[in-house]
Amino acid sequence: MNVTIVDYNSGNISSVINSFKEVAKDKVNIKVTSDLNKIKLSDKLVLPGQGSFKSCIEALNDIDGIVETLNEFAVTNKKPLLGICVGLQMFADIGYEEIETKGLGWISGKVSKIDNQNGKYKLPHIGWNQINIVKHSKIFENIENDSHMYFVHSYEFIPEDKNVISATTDYSSKIVCAIEKENIFGTQFHPEKSDKIGLQIIHNFINL
């Protein structure tokens, strides 16, 4: 089985690569590439994201054909895909970080700045926070409710269909921190930086 981490210059993804290789050991082939043919031939994809919504979308659009290839993989062929941090946010129709930017449009919704309630809450939301699992998700197998995950973000994904939400976290409001829609999964937190519990999530995705 091939699990491919999409490399599109979204920032330092070494911790994502290392965590997936640690979990996979030698049983699963972990690739890191922006090669369209290798992406198409993969069994599962990981879409990481560091930086702003705008910069990540622009970095994807700079690679000819990659958005169409991702659409074919996730939407047409319905193969498993995991978005991490901004990788999840890009599922939305539109994002409002820096300027209004069109997203991938896989899950209807928007990405807006977290309401810090006039400075009551610091932004970015950074560090460990508990997650509230609101529906059964395949990537939460053997994960206890109220587990702590590691976050770094100032913007939140607000989906129109609340049924796609699999977990929230409390920070000024109930922020969506995990979604599942058929074959498409996403976490606002960083499983690769969330110690053993995060590695369990990576394990669950690899073994879908």
Point out the residues that are catalytic: 85, 190, 192
Question: Long-range CB contacts (< 8 A, 24+ apart) of 140-143?
Answer: 140/166, 140/167, 140/178, 140/201, 140/204, 141/200, 141/204, 142/200, 142/204, 143/197, 143/200, 143/201, 143/204
Q: From residue 54, how far is each of 1, 6, 113, 116 by CA, in Å?
A: 32, 17, 13, 21
Q: Say how far apart CA 189 and CA 97 lie, in whole Å.
A: 18
DSSP string, 175-204: EEEEEEETTEEEESS-GGGSHHHHHHHHHH
Paired tokens of 51:
């930086």
